[in-house]
Amino acid sequence: MIWLIFLSFLAYTVFVMWFSWYKTKGTDMSTTDGYFLGGRSLTGIVIASSLILTNLSTEQIVGLNGQAFGESMAVMAWEVASPLALIVMALILLPKYLKAGLTTIPDFLERRYDLRTRQIASLLFLISYAVAYLPVVLYSGALVLDSIFSLTSITNLSPFMLVLVISAAIGVISLGYTILGGLKAAAMSDTINGIGLIIGGLLIPILALVALGGGNLASGVSELLHANPGKLNAIGGTESSVPWPVLITGMLFNNIFYWAMNQSIIQRTFAAKNLAEGQKGVLFAGLFKVFGMTFLVLPGIIAYLLYGNSLSNNDAAYPTLVIDVLPVALSGFLAAVLFGAILSSFNNTLNSAITLFSLDIYKPIFKPQAQERELVKAGRVFAFGLAIASVIVAPFIMYAPSGLYAYLQEMNGFYNLPIIAMILVGFFSKRVPAYAGKVVIVVHIVLYSLSKVFLSDVNFLYVLSILLAVDIFVMLVLGRLNPRKTPFVLNDAKKVDLTPWKHAKTFSAFLVIIMLGVYAFFSPIGIADSSLATYSVSQVVFLLVNLVIIGSVAWFWYRTNKKLDSADSKDEDQKKVV
């Protein structure tokens, strides 16, 4: 029977590879636009599929369901609250990105600040990818594939060697996409895998509900709704990993970085054929995220109702559920879809990493006169080295303490907020000087480090809620005390048509309504109760204080811009008089 699983897995995987090759065989891979941005030719559906598949990895599918198993529907915030950040991306930031003709986020940081700021940001991204993300994707992917194919019992390999072998296989296939096909090949494979993920992902909770109902879907739904309604509460209390006050503060800031400024995610939006298609892709991805909790969170709740506290750890919930409820004939298909999610996360992140290395590190530092073919070649060599390093590191993750990935996610807080501050201030303040970007990185790292020492028991999302306002305030003060001599002007690179999608705002409003509706459904005013959650007055106080701080910084920002603009107007008037 294992051969039937393997053959169906192989058939689907080979088809996706062929489709990617067929769709990219006419693209010129010798230029930076062609290789790194797919010739700026991606459509909305392709962008949306690629965004979702890059976001989804086996660690997220397993880990988020594991969190739901141990907590409640409150963890769905990582999915359902994402559309707010995607709306910010579509309506505010993407038009500016495409107007500037950016290839990387650090590219903008150089234009707005200086080369050193660009290189520092690129190094922060690369370190995060190499140390935190790529090895974890490989390791978690190896565990899932092992659970489906029972590879440990078939091969008799030690867990360490099995992870190493599977990671190497994933790395080799990803290199085939990334080195030979660039971003467009990865994006095209994501389109097919996206369809497969929707089908396979939705299949698991449906089959799990049937199992929960003793073979009857309706009985399973009834059991889900009534057996433990406290688990269905999405309004996180004081003990939740996602307490409700952070939904419009720290969680929103974290999501804005991830969905609107993280190079590995947004690179495919830079490849949009025009602004309208880019906005469609971003907003379509937002719609998917609202309902992504159906297979990223809900199976964990169902698993809790099926298994209770019998599992060895929370992260075993999803793999156990898959093995128990999925027919053998479909196991190969789901394995292929999950394998596609692994590949997507790995090769899209790898593609972004080599883009950053080639354009932000290799060219300005080692070979300023490098031609485009040389940059592409250097990027491919770097991709090979980075993939090998990730494969080598991956099996060692099994020796790390539990919760390492959550810890590493918190560690991303060391660099994500300064980048948000630099980009927002860079676009919306003309006179903040170049050195402000470097200062805010140092200030933020010091403050965030101190929070880990003195506020170790405080949820890191509370800390992020305050620190973004502090980071922006620091930059604005420096701009007010020592403004740059000439105001920054964002020039139109005229790379693509900047006509917006005519339904962008309407669709955004629709997303917000749907998101609020989902939260209302999974709350005490809907199908849930608050028996498993505790709330406190301090949460309300924190939110009010946080909003006052944010509002004060926004007011100071407005007054600073107004003062500097007034000074510019006086200078222009004096020049005219002279």
pLDDT in tens, 454-482: 888 888 999 999 999 999 999 999 999 99
pLDDT, residue 567, reads 62
Look at residue 390 in the predicted model and tell me its pLDDT: 86
- Write down the pLDDT at residue 339: 77
Average pLDDT rounded to a whole number, residues 84-93: 96
Dig out the tokens for 455 from the structure: 């506020």
How large is the greatest C-alpha to C-alpha distance in the chain, in angstroms? 88
Instruction: Locate 58 and state its tokens.
Output: 């086996």
Model confidence at 336: pLDDT above 80: no
Mean pLDDT of 128-134: 79
Rounded-to-integer distance, Cα 116 and Cα 20, Å: 37
Distance CA 79, CA 234 (A): 12
| Residue 91: pLDDT over 60 | yes
Model confidence at 423, pLDDT cuts 50, 70, 90, reads very high
What is the number of H-type helices and E-type strands within the chain?
A: 28, 0
Query: Does residue 334 register a pLDDT over 80?
Result: no
The pLDDT of residue 341 is 72
Q: What's the confidence (pLDDT) of residue 18?
A: 57
Place 519 in a pLDDT band, splitting at 50, 70 and 90.
very high
Local confidence band at 209 (pLDDT 50, 70, 90 cut-offs): very high
Burial (CB count <10 Å: 0-12, 13-18, 19+), residue 250: buried
CB atoms within 10 A of CB 562: 10
Angle at which helix 263-270 crosses helix 328-356, to 10 degrees, equals 80
Among left, alpha and beta (phi > 0; psi -120 to 50; other), residue 214 is: left
pLDDT band per the 50, 70, 90 thresholds, residue 375: confident
Per-residue pLDDT tens over the stretch 233-269:
999 998 888 999 999 999 999 999 999 998 878 877 8
Tell which phi-psi region holds residue 90, choosing left (phi > 0), alpha (psi between -120 and 50) or beta.
alpha
Least-confidence region, from 399-413, 440-454, 471-485, 511-525 = 399-413
pTM, to two decimals: 0.83
What is the average per-residue pLDDT within 340-346? 74
Residue 340's pLDDT band, with cuts at 50, 70 and 90, is confident
Please compute, for residue 215, the number of CA atoms within 13 A of its CA located in the half-sphere on the CB side: 0
Residue with tokens 């999501």: 255
The two tokens of residue 546 are: 């946080």
**Domains detected in the chain:** 2-577 (1.20.1730.10)
Instruction: Identify which of 312, 322, 274 has the alpha carbon closest to the alpha carbon of residue 47.
Output: 274
- Please report the pLDDT score of residue 403 as a whole number: 47
> What is the rounded average pLDDT for all residues in the chain?
83
How far is 578 from 576, CA to CA, in rounded Å? 5
DSSP string, 456-504: TTS-HHHHHHHHHHHHHHHHHHHHHHS--SS---------SB-PPPTTH
pLDDT of 141 > 90? The answer is no
As given in the structure block, the two tokens for residue 276 are: 């309208």
Say if CB 375 and CB 362 are below 8 A apart: yes
Q: What is the pLDDT of residue 29?
A: 45
- 42 strand-pairing partners: 272
Q: Dihedral (C-alpha) 229, 230, 231, 237: value to the nearest 10 degrees?
A: 150
**Statement: residue 515 has pLDDT above 70:** yes
Radius of gyration of the chain (CA): 24
Tokens of 239: 């003990």
Q: Among 52-56, 294-298, 304-308, name the one with the lowest average pLDDT.
A: 52-56
**pLDDT for 180-196, tens place per residue?**
544 445 555 556 666 67
Instruction: Name the more confident of 158 and 516.
Output: 516
